[in-house]
Amino acid sequence: MKREHCVGYCDTTGGWFRPRSFEIEIDTHLDKETYTKTLLHEMFHMKQFIDGTLKTKWSKMYYKNEPVENYSYDDQPHEIAAREAEETLYKEYINS
């Protein structure tokens, strides 16, 4: 993860067709807020895989049937949605 300048990721572990098993990995050296936001972000990706909006076909990732490789990382629509969700979910978490 350090080589890719990544603090977390979500991947399926039980196959790509209708996935139900996942692995989330998060950098353990993050402060509490960043760690929590990263966990929420990656859990949102898990939701995207479960509801089928995020898929992998033929070793390529698709969001709503559009290849994400058509965008730079920061502009990939599934990442934009996850960043927005992480902020909303974090606010709900700290207010509960």
pLDDT tens-digit series, residues 8-60: 999 999 877 888 899 999 999 999 999 999 999 999 999 999 999 999 888 89
Share of the chain above pLDDT 90, in %: 79
20: exposed, middle or buried (Cβ count in 10 Å: 0-12, 13-18, 19+): exposed
- Axis-axis angle for helices 77-95, 32-51 (nearest 10): 120
Global pTM? 0.91
- The two beta strands, 60-63 and 66-67, are antiparallel
Any domain includes 57: yes
15: Cα separation from own chain's centroid? 17
Any domain includes 88: yes
Any domain includes 39: yes
Any domain includes 23: yes
- Whether 69 has a pLDDT exceeding 80, the answer reads yes
Q: Which domain holds residue 17?
A: 8-95
| Structural domains of the chain, count | 1
| Collapsed DSSP state (helix, strand, coil) of residue 89 | helix
Distance separating alpha carbons of residues 21 and 11, to the nearest angstrom: 9
